[in-house]
Chain A
Amino acid sequence: DPKIIQKPKYLVAVTGSEKILICEQYLGHNAMYWYRQSAKKPLEFMFSYSYQKLMDNQTASSRFQPQSSKKNHLDLQITALKPDDSATYFCASSQDEQYFGPGTRLTVL
């Protein structure tokens, strides 16, 4: 059974729209993260949360907003989508080392 679930696996959006990427982990970890992987840049850290509180933030744009409704959930809301936002977004969780989810591949047209 998958321990880190990300939904959806693929997502196509139009420029200017808003989408929410879902992440749930069943590893019992207290910390969760978002990373982005695109063709243009290496894997980039975006956010880290611990016990549902923001611990670290690398994303410059306020269009990216993490949301944690439960300890094992960390969703990512992206508003005013741009074609440059096209990437695969990975959720991760950790107690010591970080384990990654399967990713959501976002394409913005």
Chain B
Amino acid sequence: GEQVEQRPPHLSVREGDSAFITCTYTDPNSYYFFWYKQEPGASLQLLMKVFSSTEINEGQGFTVLLNKKDKRLSLNLTAAHPGDSAAYFCAVSALGGSALGRLHFGAGTQLIVIP
């Protein structure tokens, strides 16, 4: 089955610096990719979804890169601020987010942004 490895498990950056998180996956049939943010004691908030035809997606304050050749998905938080402090999870699915698409999650990255 699909294996998703996420690194680093912990990351501390200073306010204004970039924070870079990477996931690698094993299933070449994986087609849909997601990043979620989880603040302490809270649920998972969808940050972005990326599909196979997309290599780079930009959101508010972050960039997601997909490299299917290397089976690698990355999240780059640009100019991080303390409100970005949270756990970040990548998730991979072969069948999308619809009825058949179970998500395989990475183990998460605990990000701390130091003011």
Contacts and interface: CB of A to CB of B under 8 A. Distances in A.
* Interface-centre pick from B45, B102, B107, B108 (highest chain A CB count, 10 A): B102
A33 B102 contact: yes
B44 A100 contact: yes
Nearest to A44: B105
Judged by DSSP, the binding face of A is strand
Interface residues of B, number: 23
B44 A90 contact: yes
Interface in B28-77: 34, 36, 42-46, 49
B104 A45 contact: yes
B5 to A, nearest CB: 10
A97 B91 CA distance: 11
A34 to B, nearest CB: 10
Interface of A: 30-31, 33, 35, 42-45, 48-51, 55-56, 58, 90, 94-103
6 contacts: A42-B107, A45-B103, A48-B100, A50-B100, A96-B96, A100-B36
